[in-house]
Amino acid sequence: MFFSKMHGLGNDFMVIDNIRQNMVNITSKLIFNLSNRNLGVGFDQLLLVNKSNDSTIDFYYRIFNADGSEVEQCGNGARCFAYFVYLKGLTKKNRIFVSTSTKRMELEIINHNQIKVNMGEPIFDPLLIPFLWMEKKKYYSIKILNKNLLFSIVSIGNPHCVIIVKNLHTYPVESIGSLISNHTLFPEKINVGFMEIINSNHIALRVYERGVGETQACGSGACAAVAIGINNQLLSERVKVSLSGGDLYINWKGLDNDMYMTGPAIHVYDGHIFL
């Protein structure tokens, strides 16, 4: 099986062309083994490139976390997907349309490996996250380690919870993130973002991704944090998001508008593995 290793600000992917090669059966156990950084290829997510059966869509792709679970959306993965199909000659278009299990997206190669992604309109309805809470609010409260934590929720095609913190560098992201991500209030688990607001145009962010743990960067998490910051009147329409792996730029004009994310996609190497 031939594959490529790619990353978006350190959030790394194994990308498999399922169009020009006969694939083995992708199981959650196989993905889990391949994701092992000592015994396998090593990655946060696996991206599977497929043909589209819809004439208005260029490609269909599937996204799997390192634990083998399939997820709906991945912002950094979308940028790497666009760069992969362009590099490998699967398309000559600079603007492509793709679909995942839950949504359609427009991806645009702006300049070499700089990719702009239309992430769609953020969703704040608790039932659509899903979040087991009947009333839509800007802030909710959850009890973790005998402390009440305020958070906000949003879906960017996948579920996100965002907490505003004062000192991001020392915040216990791994432990708090795991407890919230696996809380019974979130029946499909949830990604957890920890946001420190530097000013109205700049935030710092760390994200605990469900099924993965903390990653170097999370594109949909960056969009979620900005969506919540703008919806709660804390941020401006254009925001730089500084993550451990680098910066993303998010634009959103508010409710009833699509959100756009711009950032790099890096091709690391091509390889093949015998299964």
In DSSP notation, 202-256 reads EEEEEEEETTTEEES--HHHHHHHHHHHHHTT-S-SEEEEEETTEEEEEE--STT
Rounded to whole angstroms, the Cα distance separating 142 from 144 reads 6
Mean pLDDT across the chain: 94
Is 161 a residue of the active site?
no
Q: Name the active-site residue from 74, 80, 161, 223.
A: 74
Q: Please report which confidence band the pLDDT of residue 101 belongs to, taking 50, 70 and 90 as the band edges.
A: confident
- Domains in the chain, start-ordered, CATH in brackets? 2-120+264-272 (3.10.310.10), 126-257 (3.10.310.10)
Q: Please report which confidence band the pLDDT of residue 226 belongs to, taking 50, 70 and 90 as the band edges.
A: very high
Predicted pLDDT of residue 74: 87
For residue 111, pLDDT beyond 90: no
Strand-pair category, 147-155 with 159-164: antiparallel
- Determine which helix (DSSP H) or strand (DSSP E) holds 120, and give its type and residue range: strand 114-120
For residue 154, pLDDT beyond 80: yes
Predicted pLDDT of residue 71: 87
Predicted pLDDT of residue 134: 87
**Tens digits of residue pLDDT in 161-217:** 999 999 999 999 999 999 999 999 999 999 999 999 999 999 999 999 998 999 999
By the 10 Å C-beta count (0-12 exposed, 13-18 middle, 19+ buried), 55 is classed as exposed
Is 80 a residue of the active site?
no
Q: Name the active-site residue from 80, 161, 218, 223.
A: 218
